[in-house]
């Protein structure tokens, strides 16, 4: 084997590398924990764990300062696999270690997978309301709706990232192109009549002509969300239809007619539709008598199934979510003076992996330490 390869091999199978990586991971986790105070947990995950390199910002410059979660986790995985492959010898003495390490490999892979495939949504329901979709609590979409048929809407949804990039969209369902213009990732709106000094608006159509949008700094706080505003031009074959201001802050869709059809345009939280719907029948917020300490939040919901099966009544409360069709609905919050219940909706197809991995690791540790203990007790008895 060439010398270079041999060095590589001894690096990747070495315990020294393991220890260095473990120490680095401790530093990374500690730093990320501290940074949560400023960034919020979501942004911290992006910056520290779902990244190869952690950057620090010095003015406009992004300086790489530390290996990210993918780097450390990936190297640990390589280290583990290499060591397993290189040092593997049959025998009972190390059984526990092998099981533990196999579980650890599965856990690392599983966390990587769940980081890639897990999706979080919210479903906010007023008492009596029925919905067949949940909404992203972070991302928005531009929906252009063909509302000509009163029975059925035709929807084209364009992710917010397209607006941010300024990507022109042409869809067979639309008789015009969508040309994104200016875009503010976070913003506030004001009536023009109350903001006389506001700069002129690019909007030529709809509500946007009377409203001034001011960009705000992007927020990462857990209980705040960014409210983007964008200006979107619709261009037909015969020329521009005009420019609309769109923002989730506007609330209701703006209507217009083109090519003999009725259209609505709106920017709203990204939706995920399901083939079933949920009705909130009752929301309760119990407190302990004589205090304001919450005792329980619960939502009584009706699950309306698509195939005409009898609807199911379900009580969702703390520590007792509803699991249905690969989605988990849990009680997250409430609003509107206890009239609105907010359910968190999580889709995570890889949820079983950590259960298997952790059971394997725990079993491996027990086996290994019991082996030590029995040997130790035997030695003491022999003395």
Q: Which residues bind another protein (CB under 8 A)?
A: 15-16, 18-19, 22-23, 25-26, 29-30, 32-34, 36-37, 41, 44-45, 49, 111, 114, 118, 120, 222, 287-291, 293-297, 318-321, 328, 330, 344, 346, 348, 351, 354-355, 358, 361-362, 365-366, 369, 372-373, 376, 380
Q: Closer CB to another protein, residue 245 or residue 327?
A: 327
* CB of residue 215 to another protein, shortest distance in Å: 26
CA 23, distance to chain mean position in Å, is 28
Shortest distance in whole angstroms from residue 110 CB to another protein: 8
If the CB atoms of residues 166 and 294 are measured against another protein, the closer one turns out to be: 294
The residues with which 67 forms a beta bridge, in sequence order, are 53
Which of 83, 147 has the CB closer to another protein?
83
Q: How far is the CB of 295 from another protein (least distance, A)?
A: 6
Report the DSSP pairing between strands 177-184 and 229-236. antiparallel
Give the DSSP letter string of 331-369: EEEEETTTTEEEEEEEE-TTTHHHHHHHHHHHHHHHHHH
Residue closest to 75 by CA, chosen among 5, 6, 13, 2: 13
| 179/315 with CB nearer another protein | 315
Residues paired with 240 in a beta bridge: 235
Nearest approach, Cβ of 146 to another protein (angstroms)? 35
What is the rounded distance in angstroms from the CA atom of residue 294 to the CA atom of residue 283?
14
Cα separation, 303 vs 141, in Å, equals 26
Smaller CB distance to another protein: residue 50 or 192? Answer: 50
Q: How far apart are CA 329 and CA 276, in angstroms?
A: 13
101 versus 131: smaller Cβ distance to another protein: 101
Q: How far is the CB of 94 from another protein (least distance, A)?
A: 11
- Bridge-based pairing of strands 229-236 and 261-287 is unpaired
CA–CA distance, 24 with 324 (Å, rounded to integer): 40
Quote the least distance from Cβ 3 to another protein, whole Å. 23
């Amino acid at each position: 084997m060439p010398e270079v390869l041999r060095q590589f091999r001894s690096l990747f199978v070495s315990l020294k590398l393991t220890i260095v990586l473990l120490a680095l991971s401790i530093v990374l986790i500690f730093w990320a924990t501290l940074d949560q105070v400023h960034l919020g947990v979501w942004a911290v995950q992006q910056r520290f764990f779902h990244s190869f390199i952690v950057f620090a910002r010095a003015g406009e410059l992004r300086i790489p300062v530390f290996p990210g979660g993918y780097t450390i986790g990936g190297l640990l995985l390589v280290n583990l696999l290499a060591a397993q492959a290189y040092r593997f010898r049959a025998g009972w003495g190390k059984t526990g270690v092998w099981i533990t390490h196999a579980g650890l490999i599965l856990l690392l892979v599983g966390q990587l997978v769940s980081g890639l495939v897990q999706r979080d949504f919210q479903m906010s329901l007023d008492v009596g309301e029925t919905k067949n979709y949940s909404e992203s609590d972070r991302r928005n979409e531009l929906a252009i709706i063909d509302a000509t048929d009163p029975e059925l809407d035709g929807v084209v949804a364009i992710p917010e990232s397209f607006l941010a990039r300024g990507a022109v969209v042409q869809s067979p369902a639309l008789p015009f192109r969508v040309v994104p213009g200016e875009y503010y990732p976070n913003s506030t709106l004001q009536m023009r009549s109350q903001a006389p000094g506001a700069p002129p608006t690019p909007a030529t159509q709809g509500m946007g002509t009377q409203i001034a949008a001011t960009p705000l700094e992007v927020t990462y706080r857990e209980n705040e969300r960014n409210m983007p505003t964008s200006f979107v031009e619709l261009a037909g074959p015969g020329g521009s239809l005009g420019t609309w201001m769109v923002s989730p802050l506007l609330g209701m869709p703006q209507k217009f007619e083109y090519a003999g059809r009725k259209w609505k345009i709106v920017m709203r939280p990204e939706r995920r539709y399901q083939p079933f719907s949920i009705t909130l029948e009752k929301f309760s917020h119990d407190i302990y008598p004589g205090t304001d300490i919450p005792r329980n939040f619960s939502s009584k919901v009706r699950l309306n199934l698509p195939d005409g099966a009898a609807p199911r009544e379900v009580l969702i409360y703390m520590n007792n979510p509803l699991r249905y069709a690969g989605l988990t609905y849990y009680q997250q919050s409430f609003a509107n003076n206890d009239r609105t219940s907010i359910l968190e909706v999580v889709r995570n197809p890889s949820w079983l992996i950590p259960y298997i991995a952790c059971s394997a690791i725990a079993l491996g540790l027990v086996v290994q330490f019991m082996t030590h203990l029995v040997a130790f007790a035997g030695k003491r008895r022999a003395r």
